[in-house]
Chain A
Amino acid sequence: MTASLSVENLSVRYRTPQGPVHALRHVDIEARPGEVIGIVGESGCGKSTLVTALANLLPANASVDGSIRYGALDLTGLDERHRRALRGDEIALVGQDPMTAFNPVLTIGDQLVDFQHHRKHIGRAEKKKRIAEMLARVGISDAERRMASYPHELSGGMRQRVAIAAALLTDPGLLIADEPTTALDVTMEAQIIHLLRELRREYNGVIIVVSHHLGVIAELCDRVYVMYAGEVVESGDVDVIFHDARHPYTRALLSCDPARFHERLDSLPTIPGSLPNLTQLPTGCVYAARCAICFEPCLAHPPPTVHLSAGHTVRCHGAGA
């Protein structure tokens, strides 16, 4: 199945002994089949909560408002049985650490067979054949030998390739890659980026790439959502975000990336201040305390979502001016 994903006004709160933590607030995300969507932000911006919400894996102390529509389904309203049916069939997740994604005491081949448990109509031999084909597609040449290996016998880059193969084996309509290259060296990172780009040519579903690495987002994505403290502060085409960003946070984040400067800098740019406390949110804009152009309304009222052009939205009081 290929279907659009539409997240509307999604808010997630965690109940904790210290009071509710407002981890996600009023998040809107639109993704059409064939698109690669980037979610970028720093620690604590709500990336992981968003991923777990999309994968229907939120813990029991989370309460959800708003909707996550995938085709005709609303994922937030499903019971546990239907959620299970979707995970690992329609929705697949590639995690950050390819070592912990696999069971250390089973061979790769056995685990990849198990990943296809939803396909009851095909036999084990047929499943093995699909695995061999899929491993070849992700650039693993000696598939037969690899299927007999244990996870620890593969390098990090190889394991991440297997994790991607495992995700694709289920033919998901929604593929979520959560920091897919963070645990890898630059040369492996470049290879995994290259692989994901090759794979998307034949893949018609939605791909969501979550990363804190701006270079990875720029290389892979069609559209980008920038998150800060649980909100989407800016979204738009990748070119607009990297070349015509309007939110002060997006601009600050871009200017902090040392990869943008080729001449040696005596001191690296930073964003002074720290994230707001998610149990006691400020009344105004969440970024106001660190913002260079903060003015009066920023402290008093939450900013409106301003639509600047087709698909480019920004949540900032200063954006209309």
Chain B
Amino acid sequence: MSPIIATEDLSVTFARRRLSDRLLGLSPPPEFNILDKVSVALMPGETLGLVGESGSGKTTLARTMLGLNRASEGEIRFEGRTVKTESDFRVVRRKSAMMFQDPVASLSPRQRVGSLLTEPFVIRGMTMSDRKATAKALLAQVGLPTSFVDRYPHELSGGQARRIGVARALALKPSLLIADEPTAGLDVSVQGDILNLVGELKRELGFASMIVTHNLAMVRHVSDRLAIMYLGRLVETGPTQDVFDAPLHPYTASLIKSEPVPDPRRRRESLAIKGEIPSVFRRPLGCEFHTRCPFARELCRTVTPAYRTLVGNRTVRCHFPLENRGQEPEVLTGAFANSRGKKHDQVEYRST
């Protein structure tokens, strides 16, 4: 089976243009990798959870896949065909849908729910026998009363606005749904509601979906596979349950351990991860996680780890994945052996 959508070594670079550089006519502005060679594939009907902290590039990846940002390198394939030009992306966007982060802000405050729901049809130039009937059918599909067609977005609660977002995204029966933080800002009792709704519609309509989130507790219940991002790179991918049971990358492990446990008897005494995510403007040399990694060694500070595929459909980008912790790689037995446990005082950064 071929994937619905796949990216191959996808990179996005942004130039940081300073006014002073432009006025002085200096050499072209420095470029920064927001995404660095990201390869993900989404099979039909599959749910992929894309996880990472703010600034890890997850939203940029989602937007780039639908052509809302331009890729500087790499390839995107949709249903087996390479997508390059704007008109290619228009085809992609017709068959895919995006649920944006802020549900109320993504609805125009001056349109009624009815016209918001039928907007996708109008944009795609599709005919509807009856606008109002179409809107009512969509409302019923997402479990809202049909009387909502005449409401304005400010008359909706957060959960209801989210349901309208689901209805709008799925109006044209897409084969791909990208949901950016679908539960941010929702109460736990409502969060389950929205995810169950997306799950039901998914079984009914059979689309593939990608859920972009930093909520690990939620994503483990709704995704088949996980992709963990850090500073614009994928650090680990694998089947959800396996990744939670035995994370391979130290970053994944510390993310899982950072999640507060709703049980006062199991309070965490120590911190799983210290420090903050570095800036893409000053990407550390070597493995970009070494500044926060509890297991970082000399090699990690100098050499960028390659992407490795392991058994069980898992990949990891780490010199010393957690599973193989016992086996010392050859390079370590020699010169680098003493440098373990050294403070990370002197971090070297990539020159720009």
Give the B-binding residues of A (Cβ under 8 A): 42-43, 155-158, 185-191, 193-194, 212-219, 221, 238-239, 242-243, 252-254, 256-262, 264-271, 274
A186 to B184, CA, bound (A): 13
User: Are A187 and B255 CB-contacts (below 8 A) given A157-B276, A270-B190?
Assistant: yes
Min CB gap A228→B, angstroms:
11
CB neighbours of B265 from chain A (8 A): 239, 242-243
* Tally of contacts, chain A with chain B, CB under 8 A: 124
B193 part of interface (Cβ distance < 8 Å): yes
In B43-71, the 8 Å CB interface with A consists of: 53-54
Would B217 and A259 count as touching, CB distance under 8 A? yes
Would B261 and A264 count as touching, CB distance under 8 A? no
Would A252 and B189 count as touching, CB distance under 8 A? yes
Assuming A42-B190, A215-B262, A257-B262, what are 14 further A-B pairs, CB within 8 angstroms? Answer: A185-B53, A185-B214, A194-B271, A214-B188, A218-B267, A219-B261, A219-B268, A239-B265, A254-B262, A259-B259, A262-B244, A268-B195, A270-B189, A270-B192
A47 to B201, CA, bound (A): 34
Min CB gap B284→A, angstroms:
16
Min CB gap A103→B, angstroms:
23
Give the residue of B191, B218, B240, B261 whose beta carbon is less than 8 angstroms from that of A215.
B261
Task: Determine chain A's interface SS by DSSP, over half rule.
Answer: helix
Name the residue on A nearest B196 (C-beta).
Answer: A267
A266 to B268, CA, bound (A): 29
A269 to B190, CA, bound (A): 9
8 residue pairs A–B, Cβ–Cβ below 8 Å:
A42-B188, A186-B216, A214-B262, A239-B265, A258-B221, A268-B196, A268-B221, A274-B157
Would B272 and A256 count as touching, CB distance under 8 A? no
Name the residue on A nearest B255 (C-beta).
Answer: A186
CB neighbours of A269 from chain B (8 A): 192
Min CB gap B294→A, angstroms:
13
Q: Which among A186, A260, A261, A271 has the greatest number of chain B C-beta atoms within 10 A? A: A186
Would B274 and A186 count as touching, CB distance under 8 A? no
Min CB gap A295→B, angstroms:
22
CB neighbours of A264 from chain B (8 A): 220-221, 240-241
Query: Which 8 residue pairs are nearest across A and B when measured between Cβ atoms?
Result: A215-B260, A268-B192, A259-B217, A42-B187, A271-B189, A214-B262, A270-B192, A190-B258
CB neighbours of A43 from chain B (8 A): 158, 187
A158 to B277, CA, bound (A): 12
B273 part of interface (Cβ distance < 8 Å): yes
A274 to B268, CA, bound (A): 34
CB neighbours of A256 from chain B (8 A): 188-189, 191-192
Name the residue on A nearest B272 (C-beta).
Answer: A190
B206 part of interface (Cβ distance < 8 Å): no
A45 to B192, CA, bound (A): 19
Give the residue of B188, B244, B254 whose beta carbon is less than 8 angstroms from that of A187.
B254
Would B221 and A257 count as touching, CB distance under 8 A? no
User: Are A190 and B276 CB-contacts (below 8 A) given A212-B187, A261-B221, A271-B189?
Assistant: no
B263 part of interface (Cβ distance < 8 Å): yes
A157 to B277, CA, bound (A): 10
Would B193 and A270 count as touching, CB distance under 8 A? yes
CB neighbours of B54 from chain A (8 A): 156, 185
Task: Determine chain B's interface SS by DSSP, over half rule.
Answer: helix
Give the residue of A188, A193, A221, A260 whose beta carbon is less than 8 angstroms from that of B276.
A188
Min CB gap A311→B, angstroms:
15
B264 part of interface (Cβ distance < 8 Å): yes
Would B259 and A215 count as touching, CB distance under 8 A? yes
B305 part of interface (Cβ distance < 8 Å): no
Would B258 and A265 count as touching, CB distance under 8 A? no
CB neighbours of B3 from chain A (8 A): none
CB neighbours of A267 from chain B (8 A): 192, 196, 199
Min CB gap A47→B, angstroms:
11
CB neighbours of A271 from chain B (8 A): 189
User: Are A190 and B271 CB-contacts (below 8 A) given A215-B262, A218-B261, A267-B199?
Assistant: yes
Name the residue on B nearest A182 (C-beta).
Answer: B185
Name the residue on B nearest A188 (C-beta).
Answer: B276
A216 to B264, CA, bound (A): 10
Would B273 and A190 count as touching, CB distance under 8 A? yes
Name the residue on A nearest B261 (C-beta).
Answer: A215
User: Are A187 and B258 CB-contacts (below 8 A) given A259-B217, A267-B196?
Assistant: yes
Name the residue on B nearest A41 (C-beta).
Answer: B187
A266 to B192, CA, bound (A): 11
A89 to B209, CA, bound (A): 51
Would A216 and B220 count as touching, CB distance under 8 A? no
Min CB gap B142→A, angstroms:
15
Would B53 and A260 count as touching, CB distance under 8 A? no
CB neighbours of A257 from chain B (8 A): 188, 217, 262
In B146-162, the 8 Å CB interface with A consists of: 157-158
CB neighbours of B220 from chain A (8 A): 258, 262, 264
In B232-258, the 8 Å CB interface with A consists of: 240-241, 244, 254-255, 258
